[in-house]
Amino acid sequence: MKIVVVGQPRGWSSERLAAALRTAGAESDVMSLAECALRLPDPRLYYRGQPLEGVTGAFVKKIGDTAAGGWAVRERINLLRHLQASGVQVVSPPDRLEIAVNRYRMTLELSRAGIPVPETVVTEDVAEAERAVERFGTAVLKPLFTSKGRGMRRLEAGDNIRAVLAEHAAVGRGPFYLQAFVKHPGRDLGVAVLDGRVLGAYWRIAGENQWMTTILSGGRYAPADPPGEAVELALAAARCFGLTFTGVDLIESPSGGWAVLEVSAFGGFRGLLQACRTDAAPVLAAHLCERFGLARP
C-alpha cells in the first residue's frame, strides 16, 4: 500500500511522517502540491510530470506557503479535490481543510458553533476597521492565510491606523481581519487532537518583551496540564471542522476564562515532541494505516 504525504519535501514534519509510515509497513513519499498539475480531461493528478498512480491514500500535512493569498489556497485545495475524485482517499477531506485554512472561515465556524473567540471584526471598510481598533483599544491585524504569527501586527488606538490599513490593502492581503488583543499572562495553550482524542497539550511561552507567543517570535514550548474546561473547549472546537489531526490554540483571559484563537488545518509535531516528549508521527502513521486498510503484520 502506498500512502502519500502531501507536504514539503525535505521538510522536517513531512519527512518525519513519511518515515513513520514506512516503518509501519506502507510505501510513502512526500509530495509538494506546488509541483502538481491537472491535464484535463485526464482524471489523474500529475506530479513532477508523471501521473500519480498506485496510491491508496494521501494525508495532507501541509499545502505549502499560502502567504501569497487565497488564490494559492484555492488552487491547491482543487488539486486535492481532483486527487480525491480519482479514487484516492484524501485525509483530511479537502472541503474541511478549505474551511480551517482560511482564518476568516475558521473564526466564523467557531462563532456559529458557540465557541468563545476574542471579539473579531472582518471588513473591507477602512472606517469600520478604524472604529474596531478604537473600540478594542489594542487590536491584532491578521492575514487570512498565514500561520505561526507571520504577518500579524499589533495596533493601538490613537496610532496612525489608517496608514497601516492602507499598507495592508495595497499589498492585496484581502479584508481587514481585526481581533481584540487579549491581555494574556505571557503564554497561550496548544492542544493536539487526533481523531477526537487529545494527544497532549503544551504552553507557548512568549519571549522577553514579546506580545506574540510564537516560536518564530522567540517563544518556547513547555509542558502543560490544562484544566478540564480548556481541554473540553479544545475538543469542541476541533469537532467543528472534522479534521483528522489538528492543533487548537487557546488563550486565557484576565478573568480566568478561555477563548479559542485558532484551529489548525494541519496540526504540528514540534510542540508535542519538545514539551511533552510525545512523537506524534508514529501515532498518526498507525492511525492512517488502519484507516486506509493496511493489515497489521
All domains of the chain in start order, with CATH: 3-91+283-292 (3.40.50.20), 120-180 (3.30.1490.20), 184-266 (3.30.470.20)
pLDDT at 68: 52
Integer Cα distance of 53 and 12 in angstroms: 25
Q: At 43, is the secondary structure helix, strand, or coil?
A: coil
pLDDT (tens digit per residue) in 5-42? 999 999 999 999 999 999 999 999 999 999 999 999 99
Residue % of the chain over a pLDDT of 70: 97
Weakest-pLDDT range from 2-11, 83-92, 149-158, 269-278 = 149-158
pLDDT (tens digit per residue) in 209-231? 888 888 888 899 999 999 999 99
Weakest-pLDDT range from 29-38, 43-52, 146-155, 206-215 = 146-155
When pLDDT is cut at 50, 70 and 90, the band that residue 168 belongs to is: confident
pLDDT at 72: 84
Residue % of the chain over a pLDDT of 90: 79
Peptide bond into 118 cis (omega under 30): no
Mean pLDDT of 77-85: 97
What average pLDDT is seen over the chain? 93
Q: At 94, is the secondary structure helix, strand, or coil?
A: helix
Residues in CB range of 26: below 8 A, 6 or more apart: 1, 2, 3, 285, 288, 289, 292, 294
HEC-encoded secondary structure of 234-271:
HHHHHHCCCCCEEEEEEEECCCCCEEEEEECCCCCCHH
Integer Cα distance of 94 and 83 in angstroms: 10
Nearest residue to 123 (alpha-carbon basis) of 182, 64, 165, 89 = 165
pLDDT (tens digit per residue) in 226-256? 999 999 999 999 999 999 999 999 999 888 8
When comparing pLDDT for 170 and 270, which is higher? 270
Show the cell assigned to 170: 495595497
Mean pLDDT of 159-176: 85
